């Protein structure tokens, strides 16, 4: 039996959603933009998904723009924020934020990178200083995809509210798991279905400001002009089905599996977690395993039936040193010996200690 510990890269399709999609695929399809009955029922599905998502986010205002995933949603948000003025982001943000800002900076836009400390945390004072000097927007990952580190989103949101600045939160990694009812000060949110057991290829941008985000592409008036192109009806419907189907309590419960896993690896291998532990995403374990090269170790784990990673999967399979761990000031040697294990609802049914024992056996044999 394989053990899948890479839920932060992709969380396998939930069984109930598989059934829903199978039933949906058996029905006729149509373009939601068509005015005939078939088109209108496709439109109703998209609208229903929008309502479900909006309800799940706990917001009664703002609007949702469906996209192909979190990468597109981040690009959409960042471009609109840059059009309004200077933007800052932590050095540990996802590449779909970092690269947009780098490119904009090369083109003359005013962009700032927020340094993180050895725990992976930004300094709130740095944000305040930038806001006092006229910063218009900030992009912040609430939970880091590589380390699970939780940024002080609420404090930054309060500052953004006070200064009238735009706070964009990339919520790709914690869809439906963040207390959105406290979202005062957050102006936009990125969502991706496939990190929460939905299909890859669909996501959304929740956007609060009065004026909608400008489209990245031209060619149609779908999504009120913000995202031209025929809506992906089934995928959007599936994203809507996820709303309400993902339990915050189930996610929190993963911490006990993760903690037992880490305890065993700490006592047997001297494993040390990377990043701040307080408030960390309960499913994420980024571990330094001294003396174990990640590239070789991951191959040994894979051969032994365990899927894990060394960081983000967004670099086309290349095992480059993690920019997130490097930004935290960790040594090259430590980064090269760091592994990311991310748990999810269908990880195996084994206890954390049993999973750790399987990891130990695989690494000792390598």
Q: State yes or no: residue 145 binds ligand PMP (CB under 6 A).
A: yes
Site for ligand PMP in 79-98 (CB under 6 A): 94, 96
Given the complex with ligand PMP, which of 71 and 274 has the nearer CB atom?
Answer: 71
Select the residue interacting with ligand PMP from 17, 64, 66, 69 (CB under 6 A): 69
Catalytic annotation present for 314: yes
Given the complex with ligand PMP, which of 203 and 275 has the nearer CB atom?
Answer: 203
Segment (H or E) for 229: none
H helices of 194-247, where? 233-242
Q: State yes or no: residue 342 binds ligand PMP (CB under 6 A).
A: no
**Strand locations in the chain, DSSP E?**
3-4, 63-67, 87-90, 111-114, 137-141, 166-170, 188-192, 203-207, 272-273, 284-288, 306-307, 338-342
Q: State yes or no: residue 172 binds ligand PMP (CB under 6 A).
A: yes
| SS3 label, residue 54 | helix
Given the complex with ligand PMP, which of 89 and 300 has the nearer CB atom?
Answer: 89
Q: State yes or no: residue 141 binds ligand PMP (CB under 6 A).
A: yes
**In the complex, what is the shortest distance from the CB of residue 52 to ligand PMP, in angstroms, rounded to a whole number?**
19
Torsion angle defined by CA atoms of residues 245, 355, 308 and 96, in that order, rounded to the nearest 10 degrees: 40
**In the complex, what is the shortest distance from the CB of residue 154 to ligand PMP, in angstroms, rounded to a whole number?**
19
Give the closest residue to 239 by CA, choosing from 207, 208, 206, 197.
197
Select the residue interacting with ligand PMP from 70, 142, 159, 325 (CB under 6 A): 70
Q: Which residue's CB comes closest to ligand PMP?
A: 69
8 Å CB contact between 153 and 140: yes
Q: Which stretch binds ligand PMP (CB under 6 A): 64-72, 120-128, 244-252, 253-261?
A: 64-72
Q: Which stretch binds ligand PMP (CB under 6 A): 166-174, 177-185, 226-234, 336-344?
A: 166-174
Sheet of strand 188-192, all strands in order from the earlier edge strand to the far edge: 63-67, 203-207, 188-192, 166-170, 137-141, 87-90, 111-114
Q: State yes or no: residue 192 binds ligand PMP (CB under 6 A).
A: yes
Burial of 365 from C-beta contacts in 10 A (0-12 / 13-18 / 19+): exposed
Site for ligand PMP in 308-327 (CB under 6 A): 312-314
Length of the chain counted residue by residue: 366
8 Å CB contact between 5 and 343: yes
Count the Cβ atoms, other than its own, within 10 Å of residue 219.
Answer: 8
**Could you give the C-alpha distances from 336 to 84, 248, 261, 314, 341, in angstroms and in order?**
39, 33, 21, 18, 15
Given the complex with ligand PMP, which of 320 and 332 has the nearer CB atom?
Answer: 320
Select the residue interacting with ligand PMP from 203, 213, 275, 311 (CB under 6 A): 203
Site for ligand PMP in 4-23 (CB under 6 A): none
Q: State yes or no: residue 284 binds ligand PMP (CB under 6 A).
A: no
Tell me the site size for ligand PMP, rule CB under 6 A: 16
Indicate the pairing of strand 188-192 with strand 166-170.
parallel
**In the complex, what is the shortest distance from the CB of residue 314 to ligand PMP, in angstroms, rounded to a whole number?**
5
Given the complex with ligand PMP, which of 131 and 146 has the nearer CB atom?
Answer: 146
Selecting among 115, 184, 314, 333, the annotated active-site residue is 314
Site residues for ligand PMP per CB under 6 A: 69-71, 74, 94, 96, 141, 145, 170, 172-173, 192, 203, 312-314
Residues acting as catalytic residues? 314
């Amino acid at each position: 039996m394989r053990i899948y510990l890479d839920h932060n890269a992709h969380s396998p399709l939930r069984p109930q959603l598989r059934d829903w999609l199978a039933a949906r695929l058996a029905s006729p399809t149509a373009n939601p933009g068509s005015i005939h009955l078939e088109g209108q029922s496709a439109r109703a599905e998209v609208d229903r998904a929008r309502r479900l998502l909006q309800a799940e986010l706990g917001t009664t205002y703002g609007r949702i723009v469906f996209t192909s995933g979190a990468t597109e949603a981040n690009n959409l948000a960042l471009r609109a924020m840059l059009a309004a003025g200077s933007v800052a982001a932590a050095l540990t943000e996802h590449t779909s934020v970092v690269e947009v800002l780098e490119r904009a900076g090369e083109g003359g836009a005013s962009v700032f990178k927020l340094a993180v400390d050895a725990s992976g945390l930004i300094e709130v004072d740095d944000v305040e200083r930038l806001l006092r000097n006229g910063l218009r927007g900030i992009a912040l990952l609430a939970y880091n995809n590589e380390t699970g580190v939780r940024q002080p989103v609420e404090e930054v949101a309060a500052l953004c509210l006070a200064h009238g600045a735009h706070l964009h939160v990339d919520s790709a990694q914690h869809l439906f798991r963040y207390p959105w009812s406290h979202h005062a000060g957050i102006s936009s949110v990125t969502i991706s279905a496939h990190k929460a057991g939905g299909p890859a290829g669909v996501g959304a941008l929740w956007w609060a400001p009065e004026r909608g985000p400008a489209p990245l592409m031209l060619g149609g008036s779908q999504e009120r002009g913000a995202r031209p192109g025929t809506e992906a009806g089934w995928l959007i419907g599936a994203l809507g089905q996820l709303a309400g189907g993902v339990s915050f309590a189930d996610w929190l419960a993963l911490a006990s599996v993760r903690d037992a896993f880490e305890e065993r690896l700490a006592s047997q291998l001297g494993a040390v977690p990377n990043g701040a532990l307080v408030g960390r995403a309960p499913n994420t374990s980024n571990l330094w395993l001294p003396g174990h090269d990640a590239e070789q170790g991951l191959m040994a784990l894979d051969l032994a039936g365990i899927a894990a990673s060394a960081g983000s999967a967004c670099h086309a399979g290349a095992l480059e040193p993690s920019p997130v761990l490097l930004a935290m000031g960790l040594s090259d040697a430590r980064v090269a010996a760091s592994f990311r294990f991310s748990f999810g609802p269908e990880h195996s049914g084994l206890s954390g200690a049993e999973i750790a024992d399987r990891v130990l056996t695989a690494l000792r044999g390598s």
